[in-house]
Amino acid sequence: MFGTDPFWLVLVKTVVVFIGLVVIVMLTIWFERRVVGRMQNRIGPNRAGPQGLLQTLVDGIKLALKEEIIPITAHKAVYWLAPFLSAFAAFAAFAVIPFGPTVSMFGIETQLQLADFPQSVLYLLAVASIGIYGIVLSGWASGSTYPLLGGLRSSAQMISYELAMSLSFVAVFMYAGSMSTSEIVIAQEQLWFCVLLLPSFVIYVTAMVGETNRAPFDLPEAESELVGGFHTEYSSMKFAMFFLGEYINMITVSSIATTLFLGGYLAPWPFSLIPGINEGWWTILFWFVKVVLFVFMYVWLRGTLPRYRYDQFMAFGWKVLIPFALAWVVLTAAVRAFAIEYFEDVNMLLLGVGVMLVGVFIYLVYLQIRDARRAREPEPELPSGPMNLENEGFPVPPLPGQTFEYTPRASTTVSGGTEQEEVTDG
Amino acid sequence: MNELAQMNAVVEVGSAGEEWAFWICGTLAVIGALGLVLSRKTVHSALFVALTMINLAVLYITLGAPFLGFVQIIVYTGAVMMLFLFVLMLIGVDSSDSLIETLKGQRLAAILMVLALGVIAVAVIAIALDGTTTIGINEANAEHGGNVEGLASLMFTKYLLAMEIVAAVLITAAMGALVLAHRERWSPKRGQRELAEERADDFNRAGIHPGSLPSPGVLATSNAVGTPAILPDGSASELSIPVPLRGKKHPDIPAEPEQIAADFEEVAELSESETVREPEKLADVTGHLELDEVYPDSHNDEAGTGEFELPPAPDDEGRS
């Protein structure tokens, strides 16, 4: 099926994927700002266009028209190359993502996917490792300390988490019997791999957040430590390239998660009972909904979790994720070999073991958090009864008739006091 | 498996496309190899190696070995070269090679050795391939149902021992590096709490300022990181300059605190002759406020020159 498309059709697909990606990035940035706004009890951009939809476009035009500042100490050629490498790798990765099954396009039967070959998941990893060059080189070529540190941090982080990520793929390869993205999707027609290979899914989702430098793993751009990280010295269009690359990467890893674990363009369970639902153009819709779910998860994480400390983050990657992934791969290989040699039902056993492992994993993390909390000194006990207004009402003197009460959650919360409420309402 | 698994190469071997790919990628690979040897900056050399590796990977893919090509990029370009870059960037951002020959006759010896190595390589490969019949990549792949499957079955049957030995050697090397680089910790690790308590102790005992050091100055003349901050009394704070820059000369960084202080005073004197510093004008601007309220110390301006002493500022270590 692949490699048989006429040249013009490949060209059409390429252009559609390219433009589609840019548009999706625009929408993603808008979506993130709106959702994170809601999570922080504010509205988010709502001025440019309906519901603020065109905000990203306006920002993009502003960014492109800004003055370009190149540091004197920059290494010119490499400084130019880095943002292009970053954006190139981000776009290139999308070539092997399947959006749907075979459809008829301009009278030609073709797959809704730009390209596919027996090793396309490896291609994704290869392109991702080229993308790291963009970040490292931008850090080095800026000729400045913060970008250099940010670039080194970022690449160390991406290389470490790439290991866990690749290990999580191995179990998928074993069960799909292929490394081609379209075949992996087809292999999930009966059962999605996020159910059968739950630990792999958990590892991948954790690693993909680290891989894209997003909160809570956004250490390369830790503003309080590194200014802007690797792109501190970049401005105007070059900065826009990094920005674009980061968001495309986010969508790419979401699509990979969808393809490898959530059944790609296949319909979710209750709908999948309808015969023939996994055919035709509208399977793109299922793919899109799943990707949006992942993007929402990204935004949710960003709105919820504080940033990790760097050493804790690396220790988590090397001492928790990778050993866990290795053990899981060995177990999967054993079960798979057993299933092929003896009987198929052992797959269900794997499912059970997987669920148990994830449970144990979460419980261990919980224990660690609980112990860390207990190790701290006990909270000072709150006095009970009404407050001594003269001393403890500081810094706000009580209004006439206002009384204070301690609440268990925050000692500063004010309750009672009708006049106080009137003041805040008015 | 459907026809996808049977498909071995993106480009048909022996086609015009493959020939084009060879000429383009081959040229780029040679350029990369030359760049490696000829460029003065080590980071540029490393980048040229990456270019060569990627082009070789593309050639592998066009020759019907996509797995090898991708692994080449993931392992060599993505991991090995990246580690090289790491080390280069960490040890010296700007180190370039010196062209002075330290060993006599080194270049000549190097050329001879490279030629000898080339002869050996060609001879060994020629001998090894002599008498081998070629069946082409498609047939070799078809035997096991695909490129990856073929490689896997060779690795785990015919070359199992070789693979195990390579793995053992690599693990030994990694363990050796760990042992050599390992440092025994003699004292318990100090956490945030211990460090904070230590700072508080220092403050109690010697009055050392427990907070962060003052940040560098942002003046009209310079805002470089080596510019000292001006303290309220007009003197420059040595503590605001990062330790490695203290006492160093750089065209952009006036690192002499005295010089900065002198510049600052000069600017202050210039501005005095204009509006803002004149006490009468200041009183006009502030309207109903008495001058004493704005500048409580202005009463010691007896000469009426507009200059008055500021209260003694705390010194660099935060003691008054």
What are the tens digits of pLDDT across the range A3-12? Answer: 677 778 888 8
SS3 B9: coil
At A110-140, the pLDDT tens digits run 777 877 878 888 888 888 888 888 888 888 8
- Check whether residue A321 and residue A359 sit in a common domain: yes
Kindly state whether B141 is in contact with chain A, defined as any CB-CB distance less than 8 angstroms: no
Element (H, E) at B230: strand B229-230
CB pairs under 8 A between A and B: 97
Top residue of B4, B82, B197, B245 to mutate, by most chain A CBs within 10 Å, is B4
User: How close A426 gets to chain B, by Cα (Å)?
Assistant: 34
> Do A336 and A400 sit in the same domain of this protein?
no
Question: CA Rg, chain B, in Å?
Answer: 35
Q: Is residue A313 located within the same domain as residue A425?
A: no
CB atoms A117 and B85 under 8 Å: no
3-state helix, strand, coil in chain B (%, to 5): 60, 0, 40
Residues of chain B neighbouring A128 (CB-CB closer than 8 A): 78
Distance CA B73, CA A130 (A): 8
In a domain, A200, yes or no: yes
In terms of Cα–Cα distance, which of A392, A391, A390, A387 is closest to A403? A387
Residues A371 and A393 in one domain: no
Q: What is the domain range of residue A165?
A: 66-375
What's residue B123's pLDDT? 93
Band the pLDDT of B282: cuts 50, 70, 90: very low
Report the 10 Å Cβ neighbour count for B200: 11
Q: Is B212 on the interface with A (CB under 8 A)?
A: no
Mention every residue, 6+ apart, whose C-beta is less than 8 A from residue A209.
A216, A217, A298, A301
- Within a domain: A166: yes
User: CB under 8 Å, gap of 24 or more: what pairs does A21-27 form?
Assistant: A21/A91, A21/A94, A21/A248, A21/A251, A22/A244, A24/A251, A25/A56, A25/A244, A25/A247, A25/A248, A25/A251, A26/A56, A26/A57, A26/A60, A27/A53, A27/A56
Beta-carbon-side half-sphere exposure of residue B217 (alpha carbons within 13 Å): 26
Is residue A183 one of the residues assigned to a domain? yes
Mean pLDDT, rounded, for B75-101: 74
Q: Is B33 within 8 Å of chain A by CB?
A: no
Please report the pLDDT score of residue A418 as a whole number.
Answer: 44
pLDDT of residue A382: 56
Token pair, residue A277, equals: 């639902």
- A55: in domain: no
For position B289, what pLDDT does the model report? 41
> β-pairing, B236-237 with A108-112?
unpaired
Number of domains in chain A: 2
Q: Spell out which residues of chain A touch residue B91, defining contact as CB-CB under 8 Å.
A: none
Cβ–Cβ gap B78/A123 under 8 Å? no
Asked if residue A403 and residue A370 are part of one domain, the reply reads no
Q: How far is A418 from chain B (nearest CA, A)?
A: 41
Q: Which of A54-58, A274-278, B122-126 has the lowest mean pLDDT?
A: A274-278
On whether both A350 and A409 belong to a single domain, the answer is no
DSSP string, B11-67: S-TTSHHHHHHHHHHHHHHHHHHHHHHH-SBHHHHHHHHHHHHHHHHHHHHHTT-HH
Cβ A152–B57 below 8 Å, yes or no?
no
Determine the Cα–Cα distance for residues A316 and A306; give it in Å rounded to an integer.
Answer: 16
| Torsion-angle region of B215 (φ positive above 0: left; ψ -120 to 50: alpha; else: beta) | beta
CA-wise closest residue to B141 among B132, B156, B152, B131:
B152
- Indicate yes or no: CB of B70 within 8 angstroms of CB of A119: yes
- Give the residue with greater pLDDT, A166 vs B90: A166
> What is residue B229's three-state secondary structure?
strand
User: A257 and A129, same structural domain?
Assistant: yes
Residue window 145-184, chain A: list those with CB within 8 Å of chain B: 148, 151-152, 155-156, 159, 162, 177-180, 182-183
A225 touches B at CB < 8 Å: no
Residue B266 has pLDDT above 80, yes or no: no
One domain for residues A198 and A95: yes
Q: Which residue on chain B is closest to A182 by alpha carbon? A: B4
Q: How confident is the model at residue B1 (pLDDT cuts 50, 70, 90)?
A: very low
- Predicted confidence at residue A152, as pLDDT, reads 83
Q: Report if residue A122 sits inside a domain.
A: yes
Q: Assess whether A296 and A407 both reside in one domain.
A: no
At residue B300, the pLDDT reads: 46
Q: Is A136 in CB contact (< 8 Å) with chain B?
A: yes
Q: Is the pLDDT of residue B118 over 90?
A: yes
How does residue B286 score in pLDDT terms, banded at 50, 70 and 90? very low
Taking an 8 Å cut-off on Cβ atoms, the answer to whether A122 and B77 are in contact is: no
Q: Which residue has the tokens 């793995």?
A: B167
Query: In Å, what is the CA distance from B226 to each residue of A72, A73, A344, B247, B252?
Result: 17, 16, 70, 10, 9
Residue A86: which residues within 8 A CB-CB, separation 6 or more? A131, A134, A135, A138, A241, A242, A245
> Quick one: average pLDDT of B9-30?
76
Substitution target in B70, B90, B215 with the highest count of A β-carbons within 10 Å is B70
What mean pLDDT value characterizes chain B? 75
| Cβ separation B86–A155 shorter than 8 A | yes
Check if B148 contacts A (Cβ < 8 Å).
Answer: yes
With CB atoms and an 8 Å threshold, state whether A126 touches B57.
yes
- B4 CA to chain A: closest CA distance, Å? 7
Per-residue model confidence (pLDDT) at position B29: 92
The predicted-structure confidence for A157-181, as pLDDT tens digits, reads as follows: 888 888 888 899 998 888 888 888 8
H or E segment at A111?
strand A108-112
The C-alpha R_g of chain A, in whole angstroms, comes to: 26
- In this structure, are A207 and A326 located in the same domain? yes
Q: Does one domain contain both A242 and A322?
A: yes
Q: Do B148 and A148 touch (CB under 8 A)?
A: no
Could you say which of B4, B43, B85 has the minimum Cβ distance to residue A183? B4
Of B264 and A231, the one with more pLDDT: A231
Q: What does the block give as tokens for B246? A: 């203290």
Q: Could A159 and B73 be called an inter-chain contact, meaning their C-beta atoms sit closer than 8 Å? A: no
Asked whether residue A136 is domain-assigned, the answer is yes
Is the ipTM of this structure higher than 0.95?
no
Where helices occur in B182-273 by DSSP H, the ranges are: 192-206, 257-272
> A-chain residues within 8 Å CB-CB of B18?
none
What does the pLDDT look like over B189-214, one tens digit per residue?
888 888 888 889 988 888 888 888 88
Residue B301's pLDDT is 44
Q: Do B89 and A155 touch (CB under 8 A)?
A: no
Q: Which residue has the higher pLDDT, A308 or A422?
A: A308
Does A420 fall in a domain? yes
Note whether A139 and A149 are within 8 A (CB).
yes
Q: Is residue A161 part of a domain?
A: yes
Integer Cα distance of B83 and B181 in angstroms: 16
| CB proximity under 8 Å: B 77-116 to A | 77-79, 82, 85-86, 89-90, 93
pLDDT at A270 over 50: yes
Chain B partners within 8 Å of A122 (Cβ) = 67, 70-71, 74
Minimum-distance CB partner of B4 among A116, A122, A156: A116
Specify whether A105 is located in the same domain as A199: yes
Which residues of chain A make contact with B82, given a CB cutoff of 8 A? 129, 132-133, 136, 155, 159
What pLDDT is recorded for position B171? Answer: 93
